[in-house]
Chain A
């Protein structure tokens, strides 16, 4: 969902640019809380991984494709503020080197995929983790639902921007229906990839997963009695 140059007028592009720049500046300070010697390298790798998987467009029928956005995945793996930085780097590299997403639309794309997708995906994840069982299934369900929802919400946020500053004069209702509908399907792919990747990382190195801290403490509580039993 990389917005090209030209879809949105200059004021709207500038406004999203200011919003994106402000949030990235804030994230540069907040991410410090999330990053230490062990997790900083994982954050770099996560950005590279998201770049790679974004190249893998999957068919969603009707001659359309979608690809992972990765906002929810990144936020759960390395923390939401770090995710803002990771997604911004991915979008910057794509726009500057690969001409994927416009240059004047960079702020818009960071807003949609770096702020909205990360915020919605991680917010919903946190909400669900609090009410679902504190185990692997509950964790993956929360992440999957967050990832799923992040895609249509980001798509509808584009429609809001389009309503405010779309260059073409087209009824917003029909744009919303088209964009929302197709991105619900793409969201299913987003959820599937997010759950598979998080499941793999959780199996290999649960201690590196930012959003799984509650599982580690639950684990420790469960394991403690076992440790004193004779083998």
Chain B
């Protein structure tokens, strides 16, 4: 309950790394075993007869289109690589935006809030 802030920060880094590893494994390895049946919308569109109104995306020629890396013939490798690239790009983009948007711990109010959170006391109403 009274982890030193440094210790707590170390545990957070460890937790985030485990989460990232899980995401990379799911996208890089697990996705090969995903169902390739049409999804709910595609299936409904087929059933109801409007699937043929779908048009190719302008991004259809992307080297990563349909979660495959063009030029990599092995399906498992191609899909896995595409998944890993997607995870990294998403992490960098979303992580970058949230780091820019977040409150900095420069102001006194924020410092107090962080210390309180680290000490395990109930968070202030803002959270």
Contacts and interface: CB of A to CB of B under 8 A. Distances in A.
Instruction: Please indicate whether A and B come from the same complex rather than being unrelated chains.
Output: yes
A43 B83 contact: no
B57 A49 contact: no
A182 B97 CA distance: 35
| Chain B interface main SS type | helix
B7 interface: no
| Chain A interface main SS type | helix
Contacts of A60: 40
Interface residues of B, number: 74
A196 to B, nearest CB: 12
Contacts of A89: 90, 93-94, 97
Given A57-B35, A64-B37, A85 B56 contact: no
A78 to B, nearest CB: 8
B49 to A, nearest CB: 6
Contacts of A40: 95, 98-99, 101-102
Interface of B: 1, 11-12, 15-16, 19-20, 22-24, 26-27, 30-31, 34-41, 43-45, 47-50, 53-60, 62, 64-67, 82-83, 85-99, 101-105, 110, 113-114, 117, 120-123, 126-127
Interface of A: 1-7, 28, 31-53, 55-60, 62-67, 82, 85-86, 89-90, 92-103, 155, 158, 166-168, 170, 174-175, 178-179, 182-183, 185-186, 204-205, 207-208, 210, 213, 216-217, 220, 223
Counting from the closest, the 10 A-B pairs by CB-CB distance are A44-B95, A47-B94, A6-B55, A168-B50, A35-B102, A52-B27, A65-B35, A48-B91, A55-B31, A217-B122
